[in-house]
Amino acid sequence: MIRPQDPASFRTHPAEQAALSRSQFDAFSRQLPLLYVILVINSLAVAVTHAAIAPAWLSIWLPAAMCTACAIRLVVWVRRRQRLASLTDEEVAARLKTTVRLIALLGAAFTGWGLMLFPYGDPYARAHVAFYMSITVIGCIFCLMHMRKAALLLTAIVIVPFSLFFSLTHNAVLVAIAINMLLVAVAMILVLLTYYRDFANLVASKHALQAKQAELQRLSDENSRLANLDNLTGLPNRRRFLADLDALFQTAQAQHARFAVGVIDLDGFKQVNDLYGHGAGDRVLEEVGRRLLDRSGPRIRLARLGGDEFGLLVTDVREPQDLRDIGAAICETLRAPYAWPGATARLSGSLGFAIYPDAGVSPAQLFERADYALYFAKEHRRGGTTIFSAEHEKQIRELGQVEQALRQADLEHEMTLHFQPIVDVVRDRVVSYEALARWNSPTLGSVAPSLFIKVAERSDFIHAVTVALLRKVLATMHQSDPAVRVAFNLSARDIGSAEAVANITDVIRESGIEPSRLTFEVTETAVIQDFEQASASLHAFKRLGVHISLDDFGTGYSSLTCIHRLPLDKIKIDRGFLDRIDADGAAQDIVRSIVELCRSLELICVAEGVQTQAQAKVLRGLGCTAMQGFYFGMPMPFDEQALVA
């Protein structure tokens, strides 16, 4: 059953109305040619049958003019259909309104013309006019199904005069035709309204679906943007950086182009977090992001890889000097002060580059080489730029060989210990020894401790080495005089892991050695990497009874606040201050300050790296009473060291 439409169905929202108008325009533009063809063909047929019986102006010139107008409108609509995509919603609405007016005008014109022709001719000619008017309006209504207003207007303009005119003839056949036509028109109107409602609903559904798809696409784009963006700095994140690196690699490979991968690390950022809190650290990272964005451009793309590490891609690399200039500009930008209410910090940035294809043949290899160049920069030219070279390639192979040999090593048999005395120069006696690791590999021979310890730390194998060496130290202590004290070095990885701390504690307890005979030495660098975890680890060792010594003090990483918070028993002055201490007044002032600091904190102060009698004499004059170095004894096996002692 066909039901009357709800008045609300005639109301649409502006966006839906625009979509509906455009759909009407599109559908109507396909059917309009047929409408004009129907008008022209039917009108020409009537004109031909009345040419001999009606005046020429009525049977020839007037229909010719109306058919010409239809042909012109047909051409106009064909052109408009070709430009549909370029028309605005307002232009489409205006075109539809104009069309409705013209449909009404043409309907009135053709209806009037048909009724004026009716008096001429015999009954057959008159029946032809009635047939012409009825069949033409039905055809036109079908062509206007997508334009409800135009179809209803045309129906009213044609059917009402048609029905009245033929009803007033008092001819039973013509009256029956009028009534029949009126009923058909009513049925067609109901069909029209139902069809238009379904059409409008379909357009509305399509519009809603498109709007939902657009919203989903917007959300997808936003999610993609967020997934590839670092929220803190506004720079692309690690995911986006690696994707860009892969894409750039593919392009460069196809075009035989050169590009560079860079990794930047902030020097001193950890101290900002420890001294001022993570909020201050976030503000520093935000400022770093802004500065790096200012350095980005068509050739340079920057990203935050995580923490205080950033990545960059540089295209069209011709010479290494080009990268050095870029690196110098970035490093200079990062060195400017970072200020916020109540504090100011100064940082620097170290940067490593790897150039394609010189440094690697895959994105992963290029990134690894850039990371190694960064590591080299932080080791040797902190705050500067390093470009991966053949020398670095050689070092990587050497480190790889050391790592492979280390993982296959029998640590119990290949690792040994040498001991160097720490002397109380006032009492002229050895107060303890520092245990120093030695490794004689069956494949590599004697490997320097600075090398294999570094490799063990980078490969996360250091804990196995630490435990093996600690067991040897404890075994030596077990066999020696109970008065012998030994200092043992722990790495950053050891004190940065709660699990490692627990394992080390278990080893000490299992040994039966009095923990107070053991001193753990940790560097400032190891402590500052994760101060909270390092502090918790050192406090755990302190509760066990082990003494704690801060090694390499004075290299500039720690602060008085950090020292005050650590459970220290001893501070060792970095050997770098002793090289020319007998002639360098500034070095003497620094050492004197450190000695006074230790005295005020009730800590033992040890000067390490003492090489000559002159150095020992100056240090003694500055108040330093505990010393270590070649001047007092070379590192050697404990049984030989004991004889010397």
The 10 Å Cβ neighbour count of residue 472 is 19
Q: Is the domain of 206 the same as that of 322?
A: no
CA dist 306 and 237 (Å) reads 8
Q: How many domains does the chain have?
A: 3
Cross-strand pairs, 420: 434
Split at pLDDT 50, 70, 90, the class of 2 is: very low
Q: Is the domain of 381 the same as that of 453?
A: no
Q: Is the domain of 281 the same as that of 160?
A: no
The token duo for 456 is: 């063990």
Averaged pLDDT, 187-204: 78
Please tell me the predicted confidence (pLDDT) of residue 460.
80
Please tell me the predicted confidence (pLDDT) of residue 150.
77
Give residue 126's identity as a one-letter amino acid code: R
Averaged pLDDT, 259-282: 86
Lowest mean pLDDT among 214-223, 272-281, 570-579: 214-223
Q: Residue 406's closest CA among 362, 461, 479?
A: 461
Averaged pLDDT, 364-369: 92
Q: Is the domain of 379 the same as that of 423?
A: no
Q: Is the domain of 478 the same as that of 524?
A: yes
Q: Is the domain of 539 the same as that of 575?
A: yes
Lowest mean pLDDT among 301-310, 390-399, 443-452, 593-602: 390-399
Q: Is the domain of 469 the same as that of 361?
A: no
Percent with pLDDT over 90 in the chain:
36
Is residue 191 a part of any domain in this protein? yes
Split at pLDDT 50, 70, 90, the class of 556 is: low
Domain end among 326, 355, 388: 388
In contact, 402 and 455? CB cutoff 8 Å: yes
Please tell me the predicted confidence (pLDDT) of residue 74.
77
CA dist 362 and 358 (Å) reads 11
**What are the two backbone dihedrals, phi and then psi, of residue 571, each rounded to the nearest 5 degrees?**
-125, 135
Split at pLDDT 50, 70, 90, the class of 84 is: low
CA-to-CA separations, 162 to 172, 231, 610, in angstroms, rounded: 15, 73, 123
pLDDT at 507 over 90: yes
Domain end among 194, 212, 230: 212
Lowest mean pLDDT among 69-83, 113-127, 347-361: 69-83
pLDDT at 236 over 70: yes
- We report the CATH number of the domain holding residue 631 as 3.20.20.450
Annotate 442-469 with DSSP letters as a single string.
Answer: TTTEEE-HHHHHHHHHHTT-HHHHHHHH
pLDDT at 4 over 50: no
Q: Is 410 helix (H, G, I), strand (E, B) or coil?
A: coil
Annotate 328-384 with DSSP letters as a single string.
Answer: HHHHHHHHS-EEETTEEE--EEEEEEEEETTS-SSHHHHHHHHHHHHHHHHHHSTTS
Q: Is the domain of 75 the same as that of 166?
A: yes
pLDDT at 86 over 80: no
pLDDT at 81 over 70: no
The 10 Å Cβ neighbour count of residue 102 is 15
CA dist 384 and 237 (Å) reads 23
The pTM of this model reads: 0.58
Q: Is 518 helix (H, G, I), strand (E, B) or coil?
A: strand
Is residue 599 a part of any domain in this protein? yes
Lowest mean pLDDT among 271-280, 383-392, 486-495: 271-280
Q: Is the domain of 493 the same as that of 426?
A: yes
Higher-confidence residue of 156 and 274: namely 156
pLDDT at 402 over 50: yes
Please tell me the predicted confidence (pLDDT) of residue 433.
95
The token duo for 494 is: 């050891």
Lowest mean pLDDT among 80-94, 231-245, 301-315, 495-509: 80-94
Split at pLDDT 50, 70, 90, the class of 34 is: confident
Higher-confidence residue of 7 and 326: namely 326
Please tell me the predicted confidence (pLDDT) of residue 9.
44
- We report the CATH number of the domain holding residue 345 as 3.30.70.270
Higher-confidence residue of 223 and 639: namely 639
Owning domain of residue 515: 412-644
In contact, 594 and 605? CB cutoff 8 Å: yes
Cross-strand pairs, 344: 339
pLDDT at 502 over 90: yes
* Tokens 């995911």, residue located: 239
Average per-residue pLDDT for the chain: 84
Q: Residue 459's closest CA among 402, 397, 382, 501?
A: 402
Q: Is the domain of 433 the same as that of 527?
A: yes
Is residue 229 a part of any domain in this protein? no
Is residue 444 a part of any domain in this protein? yes
Contacts with 628 (C-beta within 8 Å, 6 or more apart), sequence order: 420, 421, 422, 423, 434, 572, 606, 607, 608, 609, 610
Averaged pLDDT, 517-544: 88
Q: Residue 534's closest CA among 505, 513, 562, 515?
A: 562
pLDDT at 314 over 90: yes
Q: Is the domain of 328 the same as that of 428?
A: no
Is residue 634 a part of any domain in this protein? yes
pLDDT at 167 over 90: no
* Tokens 């080299």, residue located: 376
- Whether the link from the prior residue into 14 is cis, omega within 30° of 0, is no
Split at pLDDT 50, 70, 90, the class of 644 is: very low
Q: Cα(first)–Cα(last) distance of the chain, in Å?
A: 115
Please tell me the predicted confidence (pLDDT) of residue 21.
75
Rg (CA), the chain: 47
CA dist 443 and 223 (Å) reads 53
pLDDT at 508 over 80: yes
Is residue 231 a part of any domain in this protein? no
Is residue 417 a part of any domain in this protein? yes
Is residue 219 a part of any domain in this protein? no
Give residue 103's identity as a one-letter amino acid code: I
pLDDT tens digits, 567-601: 999 999 888 888 888 888 888 988 999 899 899 88
Please tell me the predicted confidence (pLDDT) of residue 610.
93
Half-sphere exposure of 49 (CA within 13 A, CB side): 20
Lowest mean pLDDT among 25-29, 62-66, 104-108, 595-599: 25-29
In contact, 606 and 521? CB cutoff 8 Å: no
The token duo for 561 is: 């606040």
Q: Is the domain of 417 the same as that of 449?
A: yes
605 sits in which H/E element: strand 604-608
Split at pLDDT 50, 70, 90, the class of 643 is: very low
Annotate 554-585 with DSSP letters as a single string.
Answer: TSS---HHHHHHS--SEEEE-GGGTTTTTT-H
Split at pLDDT 50, 70, 90, the class of 82 is: low
CA-to-CA separations, 9 to 6, 210, 305, 589, in angstroms, rounded: 5, 20, 55, 91
Q: What is the dihedral of CA 120, 124, 127, 128, to 10 degrees?
A: -80
pLDDT at 553 over 50: yes
CA dist 224 and 240 (Å) reads 10
